[in-house]
Amino acid sequence: MALIGAPNSGKSTTFNTLTGAKVKTGNWPGTSVEVSRGVWKTQDGMALDVIDFPGTYSLDPLSPDEELTRDMLIERAEDERPDLAVVVVDATAPARGLNLAFQLAEHPYRIVLAVTKMDLAQAQGISVDVQRLAEVTGIPAVVVNGRKFEGLADLEQVVLAQLGRPKVQVRVGDGVEKRFADLDDAVKAAVVEGEERETWTQRIDRVVLRPFLGPLIFLGVMWLVFKITITVAAPLQDGLESLINGWFGGVVSDGLAAAGWDHPLVTGLLVDGLIGSVGMVLTFAPLLALMFLCLAVLEDSGYMARAAVVTDRVMQSIGLPGKAFIPIVVGFGCNVPVISATRVLGSPRHRILTSLLIPFTSCSARLIVFLMLATIFFPDHAGSAVFAMYVLSIVLIVVTGLLLRSTLWRAMPSEALVIDLPTYQLPTARMAGSVTWQRLRGFLETAGGIIVTTVVVVWLLMAIPVRGDHDITDVPPQDSAFGVVSETISPVFQPAGFGSWSLTGPLITGFVAKEAVISTWAHVYAVEDVTDAAPEEQAESALSKNIRQDFEDTSGGHALAAVWAFIIFMLSYTPCAATIAAQRREIGAKWTLFGFAVQFAGSWILAVVAFQILKVFL
């Protein structure tokens, strides 16, 4: 079953509701376009394979996403097409969805209209007679509210009934003018618009979309997100850290000793390596969950779509349309999927430039590194420090975009901002919770596999002596294979204030995934001596104390300047392996290598300049 509809029509919400948010996303065979797939289990036990196609206004393609939709629905052989198409029609703007339905009806198809946002339409004085709509179009229609889980039984009944009937061609393709004339007649027959009145959406937009006030409001909202996230999640994070690294680590250690397995080889891998490293990342789960929840609320309310409008002037200055800011904002969650989201941009140059700029956004993996360092060095202002990094990432995007445009793409095509802003609506706890869980689960699943693999590799490298007369697994960290390699590259970062092997070594694992930086730190410092405090206190304080002392020693007493330089380097240096693979798939190997080189060289220069300047003041 294909699910198609215009952007912001409620299509993806309906998809998540039908499939229970159990989504599998991947490239469609033979294309580079991503689609979401899920299974809708009906009440009578039937399992329908549901494909959520990218949002589109028409089957006349203008982008790779729309080309895929047309190809799968119309161009392919009939036995390769979906068995049925559900066209999502936004009741606040029904003509858009009906245009898609009319185009599809010019071919043999089973079609169902799912009319969404009826509550918003009624609030705007718009009345849609669904029964009359089905009569004038010849296509079955039902009302669905995915956010409130309403109308699903009706949709199921109509879909199953249609699947039991042969495919029919409802309309004859008599040209565009005839289609629009029939579309106009259908809207007039089934839709009644009341007296036009100013809506709450228009009133709010008069304020939040102002040229100068809008960006300030956007920055204020994002600062509030980080402030709330860190303030509320900090106690949960501390409690979880004490539980995992203190109590649970002690229980495992005692259990290994009781079983006679307390060999350094075993305890080093299990307790210091896996439990310490995985546990350190797990302690950030409450913080990430709260941040994802805040962003989900903003997205569900309709506010985040306004970011494209308030940043349009800035994006136009670097040769990109305002809607290019949407994948950049979404990139703050994870860079990998939003590289694919650049397909919404019409110009190939726009897609290349945006794909090169997205890795400068601070993804969730970088966020946990920033949060850890901020809570160690700026405990009273951690939220503001992390927010400053997000502002800096936007500055880097703009400056890098200006440099690339002025050197490589002076003839960048202009593109006016054309965007459909959704109506503001109250977020629902069910939808916000579902989106939050999807993102948190995705991060933990990805991070978990990467961290376990990284910990095992780092543990092996730290167990192998390369320098000095040491036995395997009984080697000082700096004399291990990992320590020697890290020490070899550490002088490169001495001008940036973090030239010790234990600070630069984790940057190597950061090439694989940025969350591996923390797990590597946890493992590196776990094998060093800690204080004589109780085990619970050691678990809570040893890592922070070692990192703080390391920055202090290697920077010559300018730890604050060095940690800012490190954070800036982390923000701007080469993205993770998955992001590089996504870039190569979207923009080719040449531009990916170019971006790799520019980011690494630029990040080193920025870190050095930042440290040399900041150490004068800090």
pLDDT at residue 160 greater than cutoff 50: yes
Mean pLDDT value of segment 9-14 = 85
At 526 the pLDDT is 62
Q: Is 149 left (phi over 0), alpha (psi -120 to 50) or beta?
A: left
Give the whole-angstrom CA distance, residue 399 versus residue 601: 15
Distance CA 531, CA 539 (A): 10
Higher pLDDT, 62 or 533: 62
pLDDT at 268 over 70: no
Highest-scoring range by mean pLDDT, 160-169, 400-409, 429-438: 160-169
In this predicted structure, what is the pLDDT of residue 527?
A: 52
Instruction: Report the distance separating Cα 5 and Cα 139, nearest Å.
Output: 15
What's the structural domain count of the chain?
3
In order, the DSSP letters of 371-385 are HHHHHHH-GGGHHHH
Q: Do residue 41 and residue 64 come from a single domain? A: yes
Q: How far apart are CA 319 and CA 411, in angstroms?
A: 9
Residue 257 counted as domain residue: yes
Which of the four pLDDT bands, split at 50, 70 and 90, describes residue 249? low
Question: Are residues 182 and 229 both part of a single domain?
Answer: no
| 33 has pLDDT over 60 | no
Give the residue from 197, 219, 237 where a domain finishes: 197
Torsion of CA 568, 570, 572, 578, to 10 degrees: -170
Q: Could you tell me if 47 and 173 lie in one domain? A: yes
pTM assigned to the model: 0.69
Give yes or no for residue 539 having a pLDDT over 60: no
Residue 388 lies in a domain: no
Domain check: are 294 and 193 in the same one?
no
108 backbone φψ class: left, alpha, beta (φ>0; ψ -120 to 50): beta
Using pLDDT thresholds of 50, 70 and 90, give the confidence band for residue 531.
very low
DSSP type of residue 306: G
Look at residue 154 and tell me whether its pLDDT is greater than 90. yes
Annotated binding residues for GTP, as ranges? 5-12, 30-34, 52-55
pLDDT value of residue 483: 86
What confidence tier does 12 reach under pLDDT thresholds 50, 70, 90? confident
Of 167, 197, 227, which residue sits at a domain end? 197
- Asked if 316 and 173 sit in the same domain, the reply is no
Range 267-284 average pLDDT: 65
- State the Cα–Cα distance between residues 357 and 319, nearest whole angstrom: 12
pLDDT higher than 60, residue 532: no
Taking the mean position of all CA atoms in its chain, how far away is CA 542?
A: 32
* Residue 428 domain-assigned (yes or no): no
Indicate whether 529 pLDDT > 80.
Answer: no
Instruction: State whether 588 and 453 are in the same domain.
Output: yes
Least reliable range by pLDDT among 95-99, 341-345, 461-465: 341-345
Cα(530)–Cα(535) distance, integer angstroms: 10
218 falls within a domain = yes
Whether the predicted pLDDT of 463 surpasses 80: no
Q: Where residue 498 falls among pLDDT bands split at 50, 70, 90? A: very high
| pLDDT at residue number 512 | 78
Give a yes or no: residue 9 inside a domain.
Answer: yes
Name the binding residues for Mg(2+): 16-17, 19-20
341 pLDDT band, cuts 50/70/90, is low
Distances (CA, A) of 489 to 91, 141, 179, 404: 60, 65, 66, 29
- Residue that wins the pLDDT comparison between 152 and 408: 152
Tell me: do 459 and 312 sit in the same domain. no
Binding-site residues, in ranges, read 5-12, 16-17, 19-20, 30-34, 52-55
- The per-residue pLDDT of the chain, averaged, comes to 80
- Is 90 exceeded by the pLDDT of residue 542? no
Q: Is residue 331 domain-shared with residue 405, that is, in the same domain?
A: yes
Among residues 381, 409, 437, the one where a domain terminates is 409
- For residue 279, tell me if it sits in a domain: yes
3-state SS of 95-164? HHHHHHHHHHHCCCECEEEEEECHHHHHHCCEEECHHHHHHHHCCCEEECECCCCECHHHHHHHHHHHHC
Q: Which two tokens stand for residue 299?
A: 């997205």
Q: Which of 114, 145, 225, 98 is nearest to 425 (CA)?
A: 145
Helix (H, G, I), strand (E, B) or coil at 411: coil
Whether pLDDT at 266 is above 80: no
In a domain, 16, yes or no: yes
What tokens were used for 238? 């501390």
Question: With the CA atoms of 516, 433, 421 and 338 taken in that order, what torsion angle do they form, in degrees rounded to the nearest 10?
Answer: 20
Average pLDDT over residues 341-367: 79
More confident residue, 519 or 93: 93
Over range 134-158, report the average pLDDT.
Answer: 90
pLDDT of residue 22: 53
Q: What is the pLDDT of residue 30?
A: 38
Most confident of 172-181, 415-424, 609-618: 609-618
Task: Answer yes or no: do 294 and 145 share one domain.
Answer: no
pLDDT score of 24: 45
CATH number, position 68: 3.40.50.300
The pLDDT value given to residue 332? 66
Confidence of residue 142 (pLDDT cuts 50, 70, 90): very high
- Same domain membership, residue 121 and residue 151: yes
Do both 60 and 161 map to the same domain?
yes
Q: Are residues 131 and 163 in the same domain?
A: yes
Task: Look up tokens 């678990």; give the residue.
Answer: 539
Domain assignment present for residue 376? The answer is no
Count other C-beta atoms under 10 Å from residue 39's C-beta. Answer: 14
Range of the domain at 460: 447-615
pLDDT in tens, 548-604: 999 999 999 999 999 999 999 999 888 888 788 888 888 888 999 999 999 999 999
